[in-house]
A and B are shown apart, each in its own frame.
Chain A
């Protein structure tokens, strides 16, 4: 299963990984050798030719794209190949191209934008130099923050252009023609003068020895052949045949299966374990006490689960056995009543303006949310002769190698993580907890691959949740009804602190974590005086990145409050937002388009009520109108959602549309049903009946319009989610006068019609 290093220049990268893994010191002289742009050629052990770090061409012309970003539904294993294929000049058909997630952690595969908050092409100076050096040592290969296309947009096109240039150089040499007499077209180099054609497969061996010219010009957007067109996804044919392989589908020779049960209370551990009955059962191989969890290894997952049910375990609660949702709610309230511990934005004299004029104030509260990816958490691990090998639907293979490091003392053979397709991610799969358990189980049976799968109940009860939060907002309206001052304070746990403390070498975040207030800070609305702060709280409930992160909480709260201000001012909610965005041409155009496609301002169909909401996030802007029907029994039907997205330059429009549909339905599940509650320190929900989801019958029609422009690309995996919450609750207010300030809706008496 293990492949040799893909390319010659990788040797530096591979050596670095080994060096980091064994903890050896790295000299500055060595550092200078690992700065590479990934554009050189190489010959691979199987005879394929590597033209850059992302493109491999076989002598028969088949192309494999190495895409170090996890395909978890967002279409990235089509969008990034499109960027490469655009400049490489090849068609993107399921039959001619393959996509694989490379196992070699090359520095050029790092996600610069996610780690440093800047696109690689925008990063200059000392900070960028240091960042690149750090990636040389520890390539931060991770998928998240709707950053993949943003990060790759220029780099991948450059790589495609470099590979094309190498192929043209090879053809020029073979034909003894100047480069200017040649052009590339659909997998062939064409001789303009003779009309002769040479396929890329026939040229690849020579091309791999060429050095691409520097500063190759990239196509003008008007000449794009693929970018901006709805290109069929490369992963779909396998997915409809049941042939797509997710982490949970890993099959290895002599593999055994494990089920995992964790201490129900956060911070708890195994106090007493009697595994004699389980270990006496047929097909059960071993029971492993992992400290805070127990794993049962057996011939199948079924047998492992049966063994799990036969365990007698006494768990200690780690001192958190008294924690419950009412207590957490009180903590959030108390934090809000105290002083903020960080002010993220402070413009103008907010206090002076709040003291005079027409003021309003409101408090909102939101629950913890689980990710509930369709593929339950799992990881397969094999430990043999000092080498750890993992197979996992991971959002960051790097983090999983850290999991191995945490468990195995001897890793002299190195660590490899094979990243598979992911059955949903939404931020959950960037966490390394499932890899730690798999490694601990593999450590108990060296030489045997162990596939550790969590029961759904464990997946729900041991997530890293979207934090619960409580926010207070105050505003003063001027004579024109528009806000003159806006004061926002939120009590919340820091997701960055939670994530980094569990998964990164250093803990970051806390009160200064910008995601605490993202969605409330730096609003695009013209409000002269603004103060946005937080009062962070520390609680034992693990919190992490949940699709759209802080925008999911703050977006709902702010967009609801905008409607509250509009109502107080006696203005329509659309008109109000339009006025607040008047100075911004791009966003005004987007809102006008939304009014046009949703028919805002024209009478709605009989019984239908509309609500509007808008939220920029992850470098994109999304505005939505929800059309609802509601009866006196609070039976709610969200009939249609109109969605306008401005994500700059679009790569694959159908994927953008799909991600808007996806984000909207994801949010609708959370809005109606989503809440994780605690009692006696443990999560009360466990599976889909008590952590329910929108299904076919509750699904609205979704109408998506994409604004066309050539601005810098923004993300699309997450931005569709935040606006939906308030679009629906604002419609509920218009329909009934009931302002929803606490979620989910089911707790306010609502259900789907």
Chain B
């Protein structure tokens, strides 16, 4: 099997094309930020991005992965948090935090596609489960991240 590009690194995909991407990431690469929640693509805790698209890694066989994989660990450069992560901190979103990697990946993918989502857009795109019920704060954080990104872009234009 060809290597897989995960967070910019070329990774051998192993000997089993049926192995879900989640277990390559968690158990072989020991990157534990991406979570196991249901194993059937129902809860979204395992969400990563493949070429910027939110993808449930627990039902994505490594043999079918084409494109660049980004996990929560690859979302921000070294010590920098992304706009979404910064918004998540500002809104104090996580409680237990277990679903939040997947939520942040889903939100990041949404904002790439749709930089200014409405509440309805958020309802449609964020179908992940959070048992702590952080949804109201996730909604606020997505709007805040959109704002942060817009401001950064405008600032960039003004300064550039």
State the A residues within 8 Å of B (CB): 71-75, 232-233, 235-246, 248-249, 251, 257, 299-302, 305, 372-376, 421-426, 453, 455-456, 654, 658, 661-666, 669, 687-689, 693-697, 699, 701-702
Beyond A73-B97, A242-B71, A422-B96, whether A236 also contacts B42 by CB under 8 A is no
A453–B74 Cα distance when bound, in Å, is 26
- Chain B residues positioned under 8 Å from A246 (CB to CB): 35, 98
Distance in Å: Cβ of A622 to nearest Cβ of chain B: 15
Per-residue contact bits, chain B 27-59, to A (CB 8 Å; 1 contact, 0 not): 110111111111110110100000000000000
Contact A244 B137 (CB under 8 A): no
Contact B36 A695 (CB under 8 A): no
Which of A422, A453, A693 meets B129, CB within 8 Å? A693
A80–B72 Cα distance when bound, in Å, is 29
- Chain B residues positioned under 8 Å from A299 (CB to CB): 27
Contact A375 B23 (CB under 8 A): no
Contact A300 B97 (CB under 8 A): no
Beyond A241-B85, A694-B133, A699-B133, whether A423 also contacts B95 by CB under 8 A is no
Contact B96 A375 (CB under 8 A): yes
A290–B126 Cα distance when bound, in Å, is 40
Closest to A235 in B: B97
List B112-149 residues whose CB lies under 8 Å from chain A: 122-124, 126-139
State the B residues within 8 Å of A (CB): 16, 19-20, 23, 26-28, 30-40, 42-43, 45, 71-73, 75-76, 81, 85, 88-89, 92-101, 104, 122-124, 126-139
Contact B98 A696 (CB under 8 A): no
Which of A241, A376, A658 meets B81, CB within 8 Å? A241
A305–B71 Cα distance when bound, in Å, is 23
Beyond A75-B95, A374-B98, A688-B43, whether A236 also contacts B89 by CB under 8 A is yes
Contact A374 B129 (CB under 8 A): yes
- Chain B residues positioned under 8 Å from A453 (CB to CB): 36
A695–B33 Cα distance when bound, in Å, is 22
Distance in Å: Cβ of A350 to nearest Cβ of chain B: 39
Known pairs A240-B88, A688-B38 / 10 extra A-B pairs, C-beta < 8 Å:
A233-B92, A233-B94, A236-B94, A300-B19, A300-B28, A426-B131, A456-B40, A666-B133, A689-B40, A694-B135
Between-chain CB contacts (< 8 Å), 24 pairs: A240-B85, A240-B88, A240-B93, A240-B104, A241-B72, A241-B73, A242-B71, A242-B72, A299-B27, A374-B99, A374-B131, A423-B35, A423-B98, A658-B134, A662-B95, A687-B39, A687-B40, A688-B40, A689-B42, A695-B126, A695-B127, A696-B122, A697-B124, A699-B136
Contact B97 A661 (CB under 8 A): no
A669–B43 Cα distance when bound, in Å, is 14
Contact B126 A373 (CB under 8 A): no
Distance in Å: Cβ of A696 to nearest Cβ of chain B: 4
A75–B39 Cα distance when bound, in Å, is 28
Distance in Å: Cβ of A434 to nearest Cβ of chain B: 15
Contact A374 B45 (CB under 8 A): yes
Which of B43, B96, B124, B130 meets A421, CB within 8 Å? B96
Task: From A302, A425, A664, name the one whose CB has the most chain B CB atoms within 10 angstroms.
Answer: A302
- Chain B residues positioned under 8 Å from A75 (CB to CB): 95
- Chain B residues positioned under 8 Å from A696 (CB to CB): 122-123, 126-128, 135, 138-139
Distance in Å: Cβ of B124 to nearest Cβ of chain A: 7
Contact A423 B97 (CB under 8 A): yes
Distance in Å: Cβ of B146 to nearest Cβ of chain A: 16
Contact A242 B101 (CB under 8 A): yes
Task: From A73, A251, A301, name the one whose CB has the most chain B CB atoms within 10 angstroms.
Answer: A73
Distance in Å: Cβ of A82 to nearest Cβ of chain B: 14
- Chain A residues positioned under 8 Å from B123 (CB to CB): 696-697
Beyond A688-B129, A696-B122, whether A232 also contacts B92 by CB under 8 A is yes
- Chain B residues positioned under 8 Å from A74 (CB to CB): 95
Distance in Å: Cβ of A671 to nearest Cβ of chain B: 13
- Chain A residues positioned under 8 Å from B94 (CB to CB): 73, 233, 235-236, 239-240
Beyond A695-B127, A696-B123, A696-B138, whether A242 also contacts B33 by CB under 8 A is yes
A372–B128 Cα distance when bound, in Å, is 14
- Chain A residues positioned under 8 Å from B132 (CB to CB): 73, 374, 424, 662, 665-666
A246–B34 Cα distance when bound, in Å, is 11
Contact B23 A248 (CB under 8 A): no
- Chain B residues positioned under 8 Å from A688 (CB to CB): 38, 40, 42-43, 129
Contact B96 A456 (CB under 8 A): no
- Chain A residues positioned under 8 Å from B32 (CB to CB): 242, 245, 248-249, 251
- Chain A residues positioned under 8 Å from B131 (CB to CB): 372-374, 424, 426, 666, 669, 693
Contact B100 A239 (CB under 8 A): yes
- Chain A residues positioned under 8 Å from B75 (CB to CB): 242
- Chain A residues positioned under 8 Å from B134 (CB to CB): 658, 661-662
Which of A236, A248, A426 meets B92, CB within 8 Å? A236
Beyond A242-B71, A697-B123, whether A424 also contacts B96 by CB under 8 A is yes
A257–B26 Cα distance when bound, in Å, is 11
3 tightest A-B contacts by CB?
Answer: A242-B33, A665-B133, A423-B98
A374–B95 Cα distance when bound, in Å, is 12
A421–B33 Cα distance when bound, in Å, is 13
A422–B133 Cα distance when bound, in Å, is 15
A689–B139 Cα distance when bound, in Å, is 23
Beyond A236-B94, A688-B129, A695-B128, whether A456 also contacts B35 by CB under 8 A is no
Distance in Å: Cβ of B35 to nearest Cβ of chain A: 7
Distance in Å: Cβ of B22 to nearest Cβ of chain A: 8
Which of B27, B93, B130 meets A257, CB within 8 Å? B27
Beyond A243-B33, A245-B32, A300-B27, whether A661 also contacts B137 by CB under 8 A is yes
Distance in Å: Cβ of B71 to nearest Cβ of chain A: 7
Which of A242, A372, A425 meets B34, CB within 8 Å? A242
- Chain A residues positioned under 8 Å from B89 (CB to CB): 232, 236-237, 240
Contact B36 A248 (CB under 8 A): yes
- Chain A residues positioned under 8 Å from B39 (CB to CB): 305, 455-456, 687
Distance in Å: Cβ of A241 to nearest Cβ of chain B: 7
Which of B23, B96, B126 meets A73, CB within 8 Å? B96
- Chain A residues positioned under 8 Å from B85 (CB to CB): 240-241
- Chain B residues positioned under 8 Å from A373 (CB to CB): 96, 98, 131
- Chain B residues positioned under 8 Å from A701 (CB to CB): 136
Distance in Å: Cβ of B27 to nearest Cβ of chain A: 4
Beyond A232-B89, A696-B123, whether A662 also contacts B133 by CB under 8 A is yes
- Chain A residues positioned under 8 Å from B35 (CB to CB): 246, 248, 374-375, 423
Closest to A376 in B: B36
- Chain A residues positioned under 8 Å from B129 (CB to CB): 374, 688, 693, 695
Contact B72 A300 (CB under 8 A): no
Contact A240 B137 (CB under 8 A): no
A239–B99 Cα distance when bound, in Å, is 9
Beyond A374-B45, A696-B138, A696-B139, whether A241 also contacts B95 by CB under 8 A is no
